[in-house]
Amino acid sequence: MNERETLKVNKQGHLEIGGADCVELAKNFGTPLYVFDEAYIRSMMRVYRDTIAEEYGGNGLVLYASKAFSCEAMYVIADSEGLGADVVSGGELFTAMKAGFPAEKIYFHGNNKLPSEIRYALDCKIGCFVVDSATEADLLDAEAEKRGMVQNVLLRINPGVEAHTHAYVQTATPDSKFGFSVHNGTAEEMVAYLLKKKHLRLLGYHSHIGSQIFEKQSFVIAVQKIMEFAAEIKKKYGFEPESVNLGGGFGIWYTDEDSKIPSGGYREYLSALISSVKEQCKKYALALPRILIEPGRSIVGEAGITLYTVGAIKDIPGLRKYVAIDGGMFDNPRYCLYQSKYTAVLANRAAERPTELISLAGKCCESGDLIGINMNLPKAETGDLVAVLSTGAYNYSMASNYNRNLIPPAVLVKEGKAQYIVRPQTYEDLVQYDVIPAYLKK
Ligand SMILES: Cc1ncc(COP(=O)(O)O)c(C=O)c1O
């Protein structure tokens, strides 16, 4: 079995992930449960890493965008595959450091990094900040000076390419809380500003054009815009980028409306970026920069599923059938946030064909608490096991304790065996930060 063919139906008609029977997983670990296939995660990391090694002489680094799924084990895996990491908060940075991740391979993002986060990251001696405001540049410069150091930075620019799943638009609209537009002069101003900072060393540019993108051309056009900008800056200021960070955003399969991209397909995305960088550098007589990319979703998204147990079933004649599960928006808020679509299967009867359209309802006191509407499923009964697929990215990391529900634990499957990478919460965990002021006590 190819590492990326993580899901299959076994002889018992049960869904398997990474060789582990989902019915057994539910029995041993309970539900709701996040399950991740380690082989899949590693194979995706290797696709990107090896493409840079083979097609760009290794002059680059893959940064795992840890916002997709951040826990200590993920940083250990990323490190063991030779990746760097992109973090977006003091909490993600702390998790990475706790896991022993090499600080010099950490890139810190965010449009409003807190002063405390900036100080903490400097003290950790992280590799690079992706600067996204003049406020940040000032503070970073001052804090670096106090520490007698010169901090490497990239500038987040907005190349005016906005990508959607299957299309892209080129826009000069600078209306984004992220980055500085190359079209309205603010990116250039920021370059000039950063070049004057004595305790910052500008390495180059960063851009991230969106997420869940299938259109290769969107990335290629973004590269063209970035390199055109780099050439203009070189002409005016003599500054040439040593590094160019092209962000993340490669799409994954959630439902059959999405393409199912084979590993080779992700290699093609990166190859297209690499070729475009080479071409543009030749065109503008720029030295080849170090290429950084920041995939998150495409590394962990399809590597993960969530297992739930069916509880109440409510069939509203002529309207809709709700199949309620023991999870919901507290473990996967993506339908509520963006009407994201998912595929569900009955993991204990995985060989059965879907026969009905149902809405998968969560257990929160919120009418909108759904994992999806009009999902295909065989006729579900109370006690059946539902697997929602492609939940590895932006599910656990977006989970909450809404309604004081417990965030499910996560297990990592390796060669059919599962182990916790996030332990189960308890009700005691929920109250650990609560304080009853003395005057309220009986
Ligand atoms: C700056 C940046 N880099 C990388 C990513 C990861 O994108 P994806 O998970 O779509 O690969 C994101 C996602 O929002 C991002 O904002």
Is 365 in the active site? yes
Whether residues 351 and 238 share a domain: the answer is no
Pocket mutation for ligand 1, best pick of 294, 390, 397 (most atoms within 8 Å of C-beta): 294
Mean pLDDT of the chain: 95
The pTM is what? Answer: 0.96
Do residues 235 and 266 share a domain?
Answer: yes
Q: Among the atoms of ligand 1, which is closest to the Cα of residue 206? A: 1
Lowest-confidence region among 106-110, 187-191, 260-264: 260-264
Average pLDDT over residues 343-372: 97
Whether residue 71 lies inside any domain: the answer is yes
Q: Is 247 in the pocket of ligand 1 (CB under 6 A)?
A: yes
- In this structure, the answer to whether residues 178 and 222 fall within a common structural domain is yes
User: Is residue 370 assigned to a domain?
Assistant: yes
pLDDT for 176 = 83
Burial level of 202, CB count in 10 A (0-12/13-18/19+)? buried
In a domain, 424, yes or no: yes
Percentage with pLDDT > 90 across the chain = 90
Residue 149 lies in a domain: yes
pLDDT in tens, 271-295: 999 999 999 999 999 999 999 999 9
22, 77: one domain = no
307 and 294 in a common domain:
no
* Mean pLDDT (whole number) for 179-196: 95
Q: Is position 440 within any domain?
A: no
- 157-161, 163-167, 332-336, 434-438: the lowest-pLDDT one: 163-167
Domain finish residue from 236, 266, 300: 300
Q: Which atom of ligand 1 is nearest to the CA of 298?
A: 11
Q: Is the torsion defined by CA of 339, 67, 159, 288 positive or negative?
A: negative
What is the per-residue pLDDT across 292-347, written as a single tens digit (0 to 9) for each? 999 999 999 999 999 999 999 999 999 999 999 999 999 999 999 989 999 999 99
Q: What pLDDT is recorded for position 173?
A: 59
- The percentage of residues in the chain with a pLDDT greater than 70, rounded to a whole number, is 96
- Residue 45: both structure tokens together: 């990391």
Task: Give the chain's domain count.
Answer: 2
Band (363; pLDDT cuts 50, 70, 90) = very high
The reply to whether 173 and 311 lie within a common domain is: no
Residue 436 forms part of a structural domain: no
Q: Find the domain containing 101 and state its range.
A: 38-300
Last residue within a domain, chosen from 258, 280, 300: 300
Q: Identify whether residues 332 and 389 lie together within a single domain.
A: yes
pLDDT for 124 equals: 98
Q: Quick one: pLDDT band at residue 3, thresholds 50, 70, 90?
A: low
CATH (domain of 60): 3.20.20.10
Rg of the chain in Å (alpha carbons)? 23
Report which protein residue has its CA nearest ligand 1's atom 4: 248
Domain check: are 310 and 294 in the same one?
no
The answer, yes or no, to whether residue 2 has pLDDT greater than 60, is no
End position of a domain, from candidates 274, 300, 326: 300
Question: In whole angstroms, how far apart are CA 405 and each of 304, 400, 408?
Answer: 21, 8, 9
Q: Does pLDDT of 180 surpass 80? A: yes
CA nearest neighbour of 323 among 290, 358, 356, 350? 358
Mean pLDDT, to the nearest integer, of 129-140?
98
Between the alpha carbon of residue 73 and those of residues 90, 95, 104, the distances in Å are 18, 9, 19
pLDDT one-digit tens code per residue, 52-80 = 999 999 999 999 999 999 999 999 999 99
Domain containing residue 367: CATH number: 2.40.37.10
In a domain, 438, yes or no: no
Answer whether residue 439 is part of any domain: no
Ligand 1 atom at minimum distance from 212 CA: 10
Is residue 249 domain-shared with residue 308, that is, in the same domain?
A: no
207 and 60 share one domain: yes
Whether residue 82 is found in the same domain as residue 160: yes
CA of 321 to the centre of ligand 1 (A): 35
Q: Are residues 295 and 308 in the same domain?
A: no
pLDDT of residue 165: 58
